[in-house]
Amino acid sequence: MTQPGGRRAGTARPTLADVAREAGVSTALVSIVMRGVPGASDATRARVQAVADGMGYVRDERARKLRQSSSRLIGVTFDLQQAFHGDLVEHLYGAAAARGYDLAISAVAPTRDEDVAIQALLRERCEVAVLLGSALDDAVLASTAQRVPLLLVARRSEVDGVSSVHSDDAGGVGLAVDHLVSLGHRRLVHVDGADAPGADDRRRGFALAVERHGLTSQAQIVPGGPTEHDGSRAAEALLYAPARPSAVVAFNDRCAAGVLDLLVRRQVDVPGDVSVVGYDDSRLAVGPHAQMSTISQNAAEMAEAAIDGALDLLDGGDPREVVLAPHLVARSTSGPASGTELLD
Amino acid sequence: MTQPGGRRAGTARPTLADVAREAGVSTALVSIVMRGVPGASDATRARVQAVADGMGYVRDERARKLRQSSSRLIGVTFDLQQAFHGDLVEHLYGAAAARGYDLAISAVAPTRDEDVAIQALLRERCEVAVLLGSALDDAVLASTAQRVPLLLVARRSEVDGVSSVHSDDAGGVGLAVDHLVSLGHRRLVHVDGADAPGADDRRRGFALAVERHGLTSQAQIVPGGPTEHDGSRAAEALLYAPARPSAVVAFNDRCAAGVLDLLVRRQVDVPGDVSVVGYDDSRLAVGPHAQMSTISQNAAEMAEAAIDGALDLLDGGDPREVVLAPHLVARSTSGPASGTELLD
DNA sequence: CGGCGAGGCCCCGGTCCCTTT
DNA sequence: CAAAGGGACCGGGGCCTCGCC
């Protein structure tokens, strides 16, 4: 009750000035100690540190970043429902911290638009924004890029001034096709991603790969989507098709999980009767359907590349496109084609 | 090039002062216009707004919150891998916004400890922290609560001064048991959550419920865990048990998904041979295993209660425990017991 | 007298109270 | 009294100065 002002007890957190008063030194000195920079004697340093710890002092990142010319803050938008985004965010934290940057994350969800998420980041004065799997159209991306340097992850960018980091989607699907063909499969199907980011490239990659193997006439692309439900529906339709495929390349792991679930449910043996390959190597791939064969995008590598690209943009580097090589992770949902398949 | 100082072109974002200079007014007036508060004529308001829009002005939330006595910021920690946390975060955004608060979210993941996530929130000077499914022990919670008001979601708190919002876990499992018993099931199994938050209560609820129905001797609790893998393993063990159960109550939806996957894979008919009930009603419940019967915690309601509780704590209210009533969502993984079951 | 430890002071970008026209 | 301006201030950071051994 030393203060006549009616401030709520316990609410106020100690500031540099509070610590300085308590320790009997200036705020500048406390600042020096808290930052661990030269300018204080060891004895003073220890004493001030002890006082700060005792008071539970935590520095105000807001005030600190306000004063500094550079906020050293990277904004990230991600989709709360996408498991792969979760993997990416986790590694983005690590990659940013390793370079002395903080992360401000802003979620996208059915009731929270991507624009809203980006506006929130702009108000936080992040120096660059990293958008995971953005669904914004080129016009919006272009106008956003004029307000803040922009880097897209897991999506290609046709937009001027926008960097991007994504895996070689067409090539990745090609790896899946190569793998299946080498196992003896001939009748291949691609359950596509409809209008999801990357779906075009994966469709194209599938078409190119089957052509390369001279299997175009036996191959098929069926409409799917990015969710388990889409995969299930597509698989159901395939079961009633005249010539049942012997191998399926799904748009992503979620889609593949839907395909797998329906096949297992219909007592189709995987990989005995049908092989299935997913895309992403998200946590789903090693989940309940344990050991899904899939194309891995390597979240850690992608996150590193994203932070590198973002900081390069900040340093005045030209926007650029980084294409990562995906690789095949053959687990237990893909196997040799059955005998009948080999006959045709 | 009006400034001789070598600042990087295009990097600097306009400030209030820039807008004021451009519009030929004071910063105070621009502030009034940007906040939409009384104190400016309509004509001036329109003119200043136009200038600000033209310059692409976005206010600096950091500076604003620094000046304001209250930061109106709620910190949230959540697990990137938990689908249910994603649902909660989405609704927390909405609930906080409805009360004029911002959210600062900080993720927890295998390589990012809960302590690290909380420290980040403290540096952002959030006024209260909402922890989703915290795994911190009581001692750490108690010491954290001394630095910032704390509210736990989806976990009970024994700690003094900490509020909590969670569903009635024991009661919820009771609902599942009642449902299954009413369908004629007698040999019930609970695949538990090991040491996950809430697992104790759900075990207890199961034991109480089967006792209430006089089925203790035929009931069983087997070790499980919070992941699909745990569910799968437990289900596998059950298939080799002497008396196969006719119904399973899983710790959560992920665990139930694992159980379901293994059963389907082993060609056990669900719900013909075995009924399965999950817990959470997360996105998984309506995912690939379409239409899982489960106990719903209603993320929207929980989020509302969490924000209410957090703000109440801020207003000086006493810490309190809010227990929400879970409810049964009977979908297609639970059905009548088979004939053999009814005989014993 | 040189160098190190420490303090004074303004600044970052808004907000808000008070004063002026 | 409404509209607009002036200036202190929130919590730290960084430059410059000063005292002292």
β-bridge partners, A117: none
3-state secondary structure of B228: helix
Minimum mean pLDDT among A1-10, A305-314, B60-69: which range? A1-10
Strands (DSSP E) found in chain A:
73-79, 102-108, 128-132, 150-153, 162-167, 188-191, 220-222, 247-250, 275-280, 293-296, 321-324, 327-329
The mean pLDDT value for A136-149 works out to 94
On whether the CB atoms of residues A324 and A165 are closer than 8 A, the answer is yes
On whether the CB atoms of residues B163 and B321 are closer than 8 A, the answer is yes
pLDDT of A8 over the 70 cut:
no
Does B258 sit within 8 Å of A58, measured CB to CB? no
**Cα A171–A172–A176 angle (5° rounding)?**
115
| Cβ–Cβ pairs < 8 A, chains A and B | 136
Using CA atoms, how far apart are residues B170 and B95, in angstroms rounded to an integer? Answer: 27
CATH (one of 1.20.120.420, 3.40.50.620, 3.40.50.2300, 3.40.50.300) for A169-297+328-343: 3.40.50.2300
pLDDT of A9 over the 50 cut:
no
Closest-CA distance of chain A to residue B94, Å: 8
Q: What is the pLDDT of residue A343?
A: 47
Give the nearest partner residue to B123 out of A59, A264, A287, using CB atoms: A59
Domain borders along chain B are 16-59, 72-167+299-325, 169-298+328-343
β-pairing verdict for B293-296 and B327-329? antiparallel
Minimum mean pLDDT among A211-225, A271-285, B128-142: which range? A271-285
On whether the CB atoms of residues A113 and A85 are closer than 8 A, the answer is no
pLDDT > 90: percent of chain B: 78
Strands (DSSP E) found in A184-336:
188-191, 220-222, 247-250, 275-280, 293-296, 321-324, 327-329
The mean pLDDT value for B7-20 works out to 74
pLDDT tens per residue, range B72-87: 999 999 999 888 899 9
Using CA atoms, how far apart are residues B77 and B120, in angstroms rounded to an integer? Answer: 10
Give the nearest partner residue to A62 out of B66, B91, B267, using CB atoms: B66
In angstroms, how far is C17 C1' from A279 CA? 60
pLDDT tens per residue, range B172-209: 999 999 999 999 999 999 999 999 888 999 999 999 99
Q: What is the Cα B273 distance to its own chain's centre?
A: 33
Domain A16-59 and domain A70-167+299-323 have a common topology: no
For chain B, the average pLDDT equals: 91
On whether the CB atoms of residues A256 and A270 are closer than 8 A, the answer is no
Q: Which CATH fold would you assign to the domain A70-167+299-323?
A: Rossmann fold (3.40.50)
Helix (H) or strand (E) run with residue A238 in it: helix A228-239
Residues 6 or more apart from A73 whose CB is under 8 A from it?
Answer: A65, A101, A102, A103, A104, A124, A125, A126, A127
The mean pLDDT value for B237-253 works out to 92
For chain A, the average pLDDT equals: 91
Q: What is the pLDDT of residue B276?
A: 96
DSSP string, A40-54: S-HHHHHHHHHHHHH
**Cα A255–B327–B206 angle (5° rounding)?**
95
pLDDT of A290 over the 90 cut:
no
Q: What is the pLDDT of residue B135?
A: 92
> b or e along A159-174 (b: 16 or more beta carbons within 10 Å of the residue's beta carbon)?
beebbbbbbbbbbbbb
pLDDT of B8 over the 50 cut:
no
**Cα B51–B55–B59 angle (5° rounding)?**
95
pLDDT of A285 over the 90 cut:
no
DSSP category for residue B297? -
DSSP string, B63-80: HHHHHSS---EEEEEEET
CB-based contacts with strand D under 7 Å? A 12, 15-17, 27-28, 31, 34-35, 57, 59-60, 63-64, 66-68; B 24-29, 38-45, 63, 66-67
The label of the residue with tokens 């309190």 reads B320
Q: What is the pLDDT of residue B5?
A: 31
Return the closest-CA partner of residue B77 out of B14, B147, B126: B126
Of residues B196 and B251, more confidence is placed in B251
Q: What is the pLDDT of residue B307?
A: 98
Give φ, ψ of B219 to 5 degrees.
Answer: -95, 160
β-bridge partners, A109: A112
In angstroms, how far is D4 C1' from B18 CA? 17
| Encoded tokens for B258 | 């694992």
pLDDT tens per residue, range B295-326: 998 899 999 999 999 999 999 899 999 999 99
The mean pLDDT value for B39-68 works out to 95
Helix (H) or strand (E) run with residue B106 in it: strand B102-108
Other beta carbons within 10 Å of A10: 9
CA distances from B9 to A314, A315, A316 (A): 12, 12, 10
Q: What is the pLDDT of residue A344?
A: 47
Q: What is the pLDDT of residue A83?
A: 85
Of residues A318 and B290, more confidence is placed in A318
pLDDT of B344 over the 60 cut:
no
Q: Which CATH fold would you assign to the domain B72-167+299-325?
A: Rossmann fold (3.40.50)
Output the CATH code of domain B169-298+328-343. Answer: 3.40.50.2300
Confidence of residue A6 (pLDDT cuts 50, 70, 90): very low
pLDDT tens per residue, range A206-242: 999 999 999 999 999 999 999 888 999 999 999 988 8
CATH class of B16-59: mainly alpha
